[in-house]
Amino acid sequence: MSFKSGFVALIGRPNAGKSTLLNQILKNKLAIVSNKAQTTRNTIRGVKNGDDYQIVYIDTPGIHKPQHELGRQLNRLAFSALEGVDLIYYLLDVTKPFGKGDEFVLDLCKRQELPILLVLNKIDLITKKALLEKLLAFSEMNLFEEIIPISAKNDDNIERLIEVSLNFIPEGEAIFSDPEMVEYPEYFYITEIIREHVLHLTNQEVPHSVAVTLDDFKEDKKGILIQASIIADRDSQKGILIGKQGSMLVEIGTNARLELTKRFNKPVYLDLMVKVDKNWRNIQKRINAYNNWDLDE
């Protein structure tokens, strides 16, 4: 049997479950997952290897109507991720009605003139009757090569999705020699893990005004010392991130430190600070400084 290799882009609105699906496919946590919109801020690549195939998956920021320069840049990243791919996964959250935002994303996918698999995610949260109605409605559009219902969270029907995908992946040699995944610099994982715990623990008004920078990293036989800063864009957010008598910052730091300790398999000492850089999401230099835009360079 001939070997197949190619690229698949995961496209959808914020919170459709793209990062959860990517992590499930790879069986390895690569992209941060949260119930907050716009969790992903980079086009993240992961590699799925089989006996006779290699699929390079590209997870993208959720496409949305931007309210600031950061949002516009996230959309540009998502659009650029479609260049050179062989197949598009168009993810939809089946618990939500199909609206204008979904139509906008679908129109973007259609313009690429590439095969599209409609991936209906979160089927564990609706009835079989409701799922059947959605399957019939989307089938009548005649826009998709196939419609695959899944639950990324519960690993339901993921193998079927990969199996169908291989019908659209061309023959060719492996693109990457690493048998597991594309490795990113440690600073990427450190800052993303910290940001993930900010997303989990803070209210809706805070997360997407927040960035994380790695200020210092020292490693010796005893363990690892990490100094990092959480960047907010308003003074009011600083108070929320620190919490009463520092309680919120302590909880963020404790949770992030435990996860980082597992990742590095040695003791981690994490020193967190909260800083305010007002309106950073509308200043291009600040956006570039606080986000990992150059990971693939």
pLDDT recorded at residue 227: 95
What average pLDDT does range 118-137 have in this prediction?
Answer: 97
Averaged pLDDT of the chain: 82
pLDDT at position 36, please? 41
Instruction: Summarize pLDDT for 4-26 with one digit per residue, the tens.
Output: 999 998 988 878 888 889 889 98
C-alpha dihedral over 135, 141, 143, 148, to 10 degrees?
0
The predicted-structure confidence for 100-112, as pLDDT tens digits, reads as follows: 889 988 888 888 8
Q: Report how far residue 150's alpha carbon sits from residue 71's, in angstroms, rounded to the nearest whole number.
A: 28
Tally of CB atoms within 10 A around 280 = 21
pLDDT score of 98 more than 70: yes
Report the pLDDT value the prediction gives residue 177, as an integer from 0 to 100: 74
pLDDT of 278 > 80? The answer is: yes
| pLDDT-derived band at 40, boundaries 50, 70, 90 | very low
Structure confidence at residue 157 (pLDDT): 98
Domain 186-290 has CATH 3.90.230.10: no
Q: Which residues pair with 156 in a beta bridge?
A: 151
Q: What CATH number should be reported for the domain whose range is 4-168? A: 3.40.50.300
- pLDDT above 80 (res 239): yes
Handedness of CA 9, 33, 99, 167 (dihedral sign): positive
* pTM exceeds 0.75 for this model: no
Count of Cβ atoms closer than 10 Å to residue 20 Cβ: 21
User: pLDDT by residue (tens digit) across 159-210?
Assistant: 999 999 999 999 999 887 754 445 556 777 888 889 888 888 886 556 566 8
Residue 246 Cα distances to 28, 186, 216, 240, 278, angstroms: 33, 27, 22, 9, 21
Domain range summary for the chain, segments of one domain joined by +: 4-168, 186-290
- Among 94-98, 148-152, 201-205, 274-278, the minimum mean pLDDT is found in 201-205
Say what the alpha-carbon torsion angle 276, 280, 286, 288 is, to the nearest 10 degrees.
Answer: 120
| Tens of pLDDT, residues 64-97 | 454 555 555 555 665 566 777 899 999 999 999 9
